[in-house]
Each structure stands twice: as structure tokens, then as C-alpha cells.
Amino acid sequence: MPQNSGEDKNRLEINRGAASVFFILATFFSAYVFINPAKSGLIGKVFFTIIFNIFGTASYILPLIFLQYFMINIKWSVKLNVKLTFVWSLICLISLSILFEAIKLTFKFTIYGGWIGHNLYPFFKEFFETWISLIILIIVFLFSVAKFLKIPIVLYFLRNMKKLVNKKQSQYEMQQEFIPKIHKLEHMNSNVTQKQENNIEHLVEQEKINSKIFSYKLPISDLLKPEFTSIFKVSKEELLRMASLLRSTLADFDINAEVRDIIPGPVVTRYDLVLAPGVRIQAVSSIADNISLTMRTASIRIVPIPEKSAVGIEVPNSLSVVVGLKEILESNAFKNSKSLLTLALGKTTDGTGYVTDLISMPHLLIAGSTGSGKSVGIHTIILSILYKARPDEVKFMLIDPKHVEMSVYKDIPHIYNPCSLASDANIITDPREAAVALKKLVNVMDTRYLKFAKKMVRNIEDYNKKVTNGEKEFYIVVIIDEFADLMLVVQKEIESSIQRLAQMARAVGIHLILATQRPSVNVITGIIKANFPAKISFQTSSKVDSRVILDLLGAECLMGKGDMLFMLPGESRPIRLQGAYVSPKEAERIVSFIKNQAFPKIYEPTMIEVMNKNDFNNVCEEKKMKDLIPALNLINERKRISQDLLKANFGSSARATNILSILETKGFIAKPRGTNRWCIDYKKIAEYLVDNMESKH
């Protein structure tokens, strides 16, 4: 049975193939007869007379009927694609023959269309006139060639038209959906302004708009310039000569050492020395200026390398290389990083691109003197994140007291300000406004902790995995360009906010980056420094500043222009990097790329709950009271106060710091200028405890 079925199938396919040949011939014959009956011969004239007398003018559709039967039979026959290719080749040949005849008669060229062209061209000329016939024949010829060669010209055209139509339609639909939301926000914005005039403050409890419906493309690396120059290549002979000079210089001071390794980099070359037994590292450090003079450099840096049991001497190159950001962004380390807060900082001393993650730090302290590359480093950090994150995934709260450093980013949809709606968010330049915004950000942190507690998750990553897309929280990166200016104007207002955020904000996706050119103890206090384990130091003006920022010397020996020391959390010694350079024009191109996408600034939720300021303060006061009274009783009992004492009784350093801040704010304790000891107001403590006991009874 299967064999007979196969034979029947083959026989049927042969019959259909024969029928398709018959109908294509009938199509051609009938078309020719009706177009030019006078030249169709005796059989053609008889056929035309009979058919025309029977059907009249309607007989002109007979070729189309034959053509349809041809298509039906060829569709069901074997090797449809092969047969259609054959058909298109015939159409290509016939149309070209007719086209040549048309060109010959129109332009008097010496080309010949053959019998087919001579007999079929009059049909086209009679029905379409000369020039329209030429256009139709050219289109038919090109179309058949494309089909015969399987060139998807028509399909490509149709797809592009479809995409264009769909894009216009989707933009129109998004606008229709977006307009009511804009009106709603404008209405709510006017309400909030009116309520603020009546001394009413909103609580930052927010509702999300699912911005995933808006398309957004991350910036492309072509917006950045390629590497400015290749890494400066020093000849092997020159490196060996410098190593020999270094060894002889040490020998002049009775220090025996051998050069184990030479590592050339974009800015410095490191010579790893193995000291003779009994030679101290301090002996090499003490003659650093002599070595620098002999090597004809402004300064050198001496660093121990425990993994090699060696001492590294970093000598600046005679020609340095400007490290571009593009090469680092195109590296596998950056592309493979899944973190939205991936930072492409620069290159190591051996020329390797260095990429790190802000989430793991979780906060970053940056310092450096004027011209050391601090501002360019901040731009590199911002642009690195812009190359990784959508506007609904990461927000920047930018505080720029100098008004000029970060103004290029003012209109991007990533800008965030907890004191305003998204449409009004801008870069913060006023110190007092910055203090209010940081205080509000603490409220945002507390609100997020309550949300996470309801979902029973520990951090923002777990929360975003658990909730739906519309409810996901975004990361907030706070960047303060000149922290010293804020401390000078509003130290009291911002120090407690910075302290709370640095201690607790990591889990809810808030990360701080503080930058200053004056890393003194008055600016980078002990409490702030303790909560910023990750530090970047560019060139400092003194050894004191280097010790303040890094707790060790070395930053004063840097070369400037992006030369930095990066201290990772938990590491005992920093990594030397050459920071990536980004020009203002490159930053402007990236910002323009982002702004041209017209991504809406409805990234953040609207305020849906408003509460009286006194009620809000009462809630906060109630929370503080839980630890305040036990702390006052402890002071009365021990007759002293310190963070260690509070930590021992309340369980954590963060809690102890908060209690100290509350006690100082309420005037129970004070630290006079020039001293480091707390003065306790026992009388005020006693009165407060008595009043509190009476209110309870």
C-alpha cells in the first residue's frame, strides 16, 4: 500500500506539472491573440472570432483565468520554489525583450527585442502609452530579477514600512496614555505647592509608573573617542638601563638589591626589587628623594609587594598616555558585569582596564587637590553608570555647590530630587537646599525599609526579584562634588543625614559618593570616614591630606591628571590607577543621545499621602523616645557618656551613634570647642526624666 500510494502521488504531481505547463501556454496564447489578433495566424483568428462572439468584451479576462489555473496547479506540484524560479526567469527574459523593443522604438537605439518584443510591445504602447509603458516594463523586469535571484527587496521595503507605521502608532498610543498622567502630575504639583505654603509636608510614600513601556537604548561606545595613543613603548634596552641605574643608586647608599621584574604602564613603570637579607624597607623609603633625583623624575612612590616578597618602585614615564574611557567600556570585564552600578575607573600600572562595582563598596570617598583629575573622575563614574542603566533603574541625586561641574546632566531623565516631582527635578546647587534634600532622602530610606519589611526581604535586589515590574525600586546614587563647601555652610544639618545614610542606606539601594579638594579632619570627620571604607585619592598637596583620606602616605607623590590611589574595602594597601579621561564634548554627546530619546521624567512615583508636619515629627519623636530614656538613665547611673558605653548597652555602633546625636541635639550633652570630652547637663536630664515619668502616669 505505501508503495502504490507513492506511485499515485508521483503520478498526480506529474499531471499537475503538465497542467501547469498547459495553462501557462494557454495564458500566453490567449493574451497574444486578444492583444494582436491580426498577427496571430489562422488558428489565432479562428480562436479570437469564436470566443469574442460567445463572450464579447468579457473574453479579455480569459488570459487571467488561465493564469489563475496555472498558479493553482503549480502550487500543488513538486518543487514549488524551483518551478516558481523558472517562471520568474521566463518573466525576466520576456520583460527584458519587450523593454529592449520599447527602448529601440523610443530612443532609436540599435538593439533588438526579437519576435516577442516586436509582437508584445504594441500591447503595452496601446494601453499605457510610451513613457508609462517604459516605467511598467522596468519595474516588472527589476521585480522578476529580484525574485529570480531571491533578493528580498520588496520584503525589506514592506517590513520597513510596517515598522514605520507601527512606530508612529505606538508613539501615538503612548502619547494618549501619557497625557492624562502628565495632567495628573501637574494637578498634584499645584496641590503640593499650595500645601507647602500652609506648612504641610508630604510623606514620601509613592506609587510607581511602569516605565518599561517606554523604549530606551543605552549609549553606544562610538560616542566616545578611541584611545588617544597606544601605550608608550619603552625599548628593552632603556628599561634595563633604568633598572641598572636604580640598582647602582641603591648601592651608593649601601643597599643591596636586585631587580626581579619590570612592569611598564601608561603613566608609570614599576621596578620590583628584592632586597638583600637584613635590609629594611624603611632604608629605601628614606632615600626616595635621592632616587627620584637620580632617575630624573619629579617624584617616585615606594610600595611593598608582599605576594612577591619585593619592594616596588614606581617611576613616572618620560611620556605618559591619556587613557580613554571607550576602551574600558568595550572590555569584557565591563560588558560581562551584571551590576547596574559598574564603574570603569581607569587602567592599572600594567595597562589593564580596571572595573569595579559601587554596590559592593557601598559608598565612596574621593579627594584630590585642584587639577588632580577629581572632577573628571566624577564624570567617568556618572558616564559608566549611564552606559549600564536605564533611567528607571538608577537615579542620580547630584549636588554641585560650584554650579558648573555637573550642569551638563541637568536635563537627563536620570536626575532625582526627593523634594520635588520628577518633572521639576534638577541638579542641587544651594547648600541649604542640599541639606533639606538629604534629610528627605533619609525619609525615603525609612519608607523603603518599611516596604522591604512587609515583603520580608533584606535588600533591594531581593525586593526587585519579588515584586512586579511596576513596583520595582530604583538605585539612588548621591554625588556631592564639593563636600567641604556644604560642611562650611550647613555642617549641622547635613552631617547627621550623611551619617544615617552611610550607615543604613546600602540595603535599600542608596549609595553616596562624596568628593572634596580639602580632605581635612574638619571636613572628613571620623564618623564619616568610618562609614566610607572605599576611597579614591588623587594627588594631594601634602602628606597630611594623604593620611587623612587613606590613613597612609603616598597620594602626595602622585603625578596628577588622573593618577590615583584606590582603596578597596578590607584592603590594607591601595591600587594605583590612571583614571580614564572624558572630555566635555564627549559627555555632551552622550547626554544628547539620552535626551534625544525623549524618555519621560516620570521615573519616580507621585506623592499619594500627605501628613501634617507636627504629626510626622510626633512619629519620629516616638521612635527616638524608645532609646532616649534608657540612655539618660544609663548616664545618671554611670556619670559618664561615650560611644563605647552606649554600644555595650544597646548592641550596635550605629545605634550608639544615633543616640549620641539625639542627646547632643536635645542639649543633654555637649562637646566644648577645643576639647574631645562630653559635658553632661545632669540637671536637664533629671528634669526630663521627671516630666516623662509624670506624663506616663
Question: What is the gyration radius of the CA atoms in the chain, in angstroms?
Answer: 40
Nearest alpha-carbon partner for 127 in 102, 150, 146, 151: 102
Q: What is the pLDDT of residues 391-428, one digit of tens each?
A: 989 999 999 988 888 989 988 999 999 888 887 888 99
3-state secondary structure of 206: strand
Bridge partners for 578 per DSSP:
347, 563
Asked if 437 and 427 touch (Cβ cutoff 8 Å), the reply is: no
Q: Which domains does the chain have, with CATH numbers?
A: 236-316 (3.30.980.40), 325-600 (3.40.50.300), 610-696 (1.10.10)
Q: What is the pLDDT of residues 608-657, one digit of tens each?
A: 333 334 444 444 455 556 788 888 888 888 888 888 888 888 877 777 88
3-state secondary structure of 566: strand
Cα angle at 314 between 308 and 319, to 5 degrees? 135
Asked if 524 and 554 touch (Cβ cutoff 8 Å), the reply is: no
Q: What is the pLDDT of residues 419-472, one digit of tens each?
A: 888 878 889 998 889 999 999 999 999 999 998 998 899 999 999 888 876 678
d(CA 210, CA 213): 7
Give, as one character, the DSSP assignment of residue 646.
Answer: H
Question: What is the mean pLDDT of each successive set of 10 residues along the chain, which is 697 residues long?
Answer: 49 68 79 73 79 76 78 60 66 80 78 74 72 80 74 55 54 47 43 40 40 78 71 73 90 89 87 90 89 86 86 85 88 91 91 91 91 91 94 92 88 89 86 90 92 90 82 91 86 87 92 90 82 91 89 86 90 89 91 88 45 43 68 88 85 78 85 80 85 59
pTM of the model: 0.58
d(CA 113, CA 125): 15
d(CA 515, CA 372): 12
Q: What is the pLDDT of residue 192?
A: 38
Q: What is the pLDDT of residue 345?
A: 92
Asked if 479 and 402 touch (Cβ cutoff 8 Å), the reply is: no
Q: What is the pLDDT of residue 621?
A: 54
3-state secondary structure of 496: helix
d(CA 426, CA 408): 11
Can you say how many angstroms the Cα of residue 661 is from the centroid of all Cα atoms in its chain? 38
d(CA 513, CA 371): 19
Q: Residue 297: left if φ>0, alpha if ψ -120 to 50, beta else—which one?
A: beta
3-state secondary structure of 544: helix
Q: What is the pLDDT of residue 622?
A: 53
d(CA 392, CA 380): 20
Asked if 589 and 219 touch (Cβ cutoff 8 Å), the reply is: no
The dihedral of CA 387, 390, 393, 398: what is its sign?
positive
Q: What is the pLDDT of residue 673?
A: 72
d(CA 469, CA 165): 28
- Other Cβ atoms closer than 10 A to 101: 25
3-state secondary structure of 338: coil
Residue type, 91: I
Paired sense of beta strands 510-516 and 364-367, if any: parallel
Largest CA distance in the chain: 133
Q: What is the pLDDT of residue 188?
A: 44
Give, as one character, the DSSP assignment of residue 642.
Answer: -
